[in-house]
């Protein structure tokens, strides 16, 4: 299985990430997921999330996850991009692309990778709240 992992402080450029990436004739599904920062969290107005990672450990954990995904599903390729630094509301913080011969496997693997990433990859987020106006 082909795989790529990127931690970056740069904005996630989805068209650039997919440009020139072909899929084999056996690929029946290409699933892309983009996770964006919402403008509210816990019912409070949110300006941004600041993501911090321990890069070497995060990459190792991502690699382990992708190996586990490959053991569970017949995947052709998986790409994962995660932002670090300040990510404003409305901007993408994570992008996952899974290619498989069948949609069920691609969808299941994508969801599992996202859930496991949140659970085990050392990436932390700190909310930046909208200032509260004093009357």
Predicted confidence (pLDDT) at residue 135 exceeds the cutoff of 90: no
Per-residue burial over 10-27, b if 16 or more Cβ lie within 10 Å, else e, is: eebeeeebeeeeeeeeeb
CATH number at residue 104: 3.90.1170.40
What is the model's pLDDT at position 24?
A: 87
How many percent of the chain have pLDDT more than 90?
86
pTM over cut 0.85: yes
What does the alpha-carbon distance between residue 130 and residue 18 come to, in Å, rounded to a whole number?
Answer: 34
How is residue 85 annotated by DSSP? E
Mean pLDDT of 114-128: 97
In which domain, by residue range, is 60 found?
2-11+27-39+50-129
At 23-82, the pLDDT tens digits run 889 999 999 999 999 999 888 999 999 999 999 999 999 999 999 999 999 999 999 999
- Tell how strand 75-83 and strand 2-8 pair up: parallel
Better-scored residue on pLDDT, 113 or 42: 113
Assess if residue 18 is contained within a domain. no
Q: Is residue 45 part of a domain?
A: no
């Amino acid at each position: 299985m082909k795989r790529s992992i990127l931690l970056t402080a740069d904005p996630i450029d989805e068209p650039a990430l997919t440009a020139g990436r072909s899929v084999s004739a056996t690929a029946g599904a290409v699933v892309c997921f983009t996770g964006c920062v919402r403008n509210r969290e816990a019912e409070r107005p949110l300006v941004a999330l600041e993501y911090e990672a321990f890069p070497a450990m995060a990459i190792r954990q991502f690699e382990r996850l992708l190996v586990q995904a490959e053991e569970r599903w017949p995947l052709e390729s998986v790409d994962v991009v995660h932002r670090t630094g300040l990510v404003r509301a409305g901007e993408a913080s994570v992008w996952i692309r899974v290619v498989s011969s069948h949609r069920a496997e691609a969808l299941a693997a994508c969801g599992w990778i996202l859930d496991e990433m949140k659970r085990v990859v050392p990436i932390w987020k700190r909310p930046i709240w909208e200032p509260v106006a004093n009357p």
